[in-house]
Structure 1
């Protein structure tokens, strides 16, 4: 109970105090857009890190050496909880925009920070709008900004992943950027069955070997979703086996 209250209070205070900070960041961006982007990234990462600490998240990170340096990538992960976003975003080495569901665009102040950090909002039931979002993500990657997606399309309620949607893989197929599979374990346990209360949980985030679309055969490029999902499943299975 106390952890939940403290986490919510911190988030609300951060967003309120962040109002003048957003203005300062806007002024910085007039002269140095890159400095504005990096400073905004680090501030949000710090906030997410604090929230996770308050909620008692103990984190184990594996395979960070698999993330290519100096180039944008497409992070692809399984999805179990909102904590997936907070935990993995706090680990991003460079600018990274997340593709999130469109309902988050309606959250005051949070939506401003998300747009500032190149996040995109996906309307799952609108094919035309979804295509526009994917095209914008492609443009971001071409500008050097990484993108993170959860291709299941929604948070899972079980340990079994839903089939990855191949459409989101167009981001890598069209740009040639590496795909970095991420396997995330136990974030569902932070809040599952006792919502809205949180409990201390040991979470594992593992980065798999990058997939380079240009090195694959044409048939394999058509199944990037299945290929990355299989890699994530193998990592999840290995994590589970090591815990037994």
Structure 2
């Protein structure tokens, strides 16, 4: 329970104490938007690393060298924990916006930081609004900003992490419309940090593997047509391969 309290203090304390930082970042952005974007990225990455240390999680990262460093990509991951965002965001080599549920948009200060970090808010109940978010994500990628999305649409709360929810195909238009590579991310055991024994946070072993990039234009017609299922299969096979590393 102590770790949970410490994480809450870190999050709430940071959001309050970061108000002057938000103002400084805003000023920097008026003169050099790229400098402000990178500064915001590194500040939040440092904060997330500290929070992950507080959790006591033992994190193994595999295949990070597979992430292309010279272009924007579409990250696709399985999703079982709030900590999936922290686990992957600390590893982003460059600007990356996450697609989050619209319910997060009204949260004071947090939503401001998310916008600073090019995050997008997705209304899962409004098809038109959802498509508009995907179109915005496409423009982000064209401008050199990577996008990360968890295409199961919500946190998977099933008992077995190998039972993935269907991947929504709309997410993959970000890659097919821009030509950017898809980088599948397989995250093992992240729910054991928090969700599996809410409200306690417990140390555990977590594995994050970055699979080899998928280039949609290089796939055959059938795989390209079912890009969600194709990517899901790669993530599922990787989850099975790495499961023993969390024991």
Q: TM-score, normalised by structure 1?
A: 0.97
Q: Check the 8 A contact 2:188/2:246 in 1, yes or no.
A: no
Deviations 1:24-51 (A, max 9, x none): 0011011110000000000001111111
The residue aligned with 1:56 is 56
Of the structure 1 ranges 9-18 and 190-199, higher mean CA displacement relative to structure 2 is found in: 190-199
Give the match for residue 129 of structure 1.
Answer: 129
The SS at the match of 2:37 is helix
Q: Return the offset for 1:194.
A: 2.4
Specify the alignment match of 1:183 in structure 2. Answer: 186
CA distance in 2, matches of 1:165, 1:105: 22
Which residue in 2 is equivalent to 1:77? Answer: 77
Q: Does 1:21 align with 2:24?
A: no
Give the Å deviation of 1:243: 5.4
1:110 pairs with 2:113:
no
Query: Residue 223 of structure 1 corresponds to which residue in structure 2?
Result: 226
Which residue number in structure 2 is paired with residue 201 of structure 1?
A: 204
Structure 1 stretch displaced more, 3-12 or 178-187:
3-12
Specify the alignment match of 2:90 in structure 1: 90
Offset of residue 242 of structure 1: 5.1
Rate the CA distance shift 1:127–1:10 in 2: closer, same or farther, 3 A. Answer: same
Compute the RMSD of aligned alpha carbons: 1.1
Q: Per-residue CA shift, 1:138-190, capped at 9, x if unaligned?
A: 00000000000101111112221011111110000100100000000111111
Match of 2:8 in 1: 8
Equivalent position SS for 1:175: coil
Q: Does 1:157 align with 2:152?
A: no
Distance, in Å, in 1 between the alignment partners of 2:36 and 2:171 is 28
Tell me how far 1:195 sits from its aligned partner: 1.2
SS of alignment partner, residue 228 of structure 1:
helix
Report the counterpart of residue 241 of structure 2 in structure 1: 238
**Structure 1 position 241, deviation (Å):** 4.3
Give the whole-Å Cα distance in 1 for the aligned partners of 2:200 and 2:244.
Answer: 28
Q: Secondary structure at the match of 2:18?
A: helix
Which residue in 2 is equivalent to 1:214? Answer: 217
Distance (whole Å) between structure 1 residues aligned to residue 209 and residue 28 of structure 2: 35
TM-score (norm 2): 0.96
Structure 2 partner of 1:45: 45
Structure 1 gaps, min length 5: none
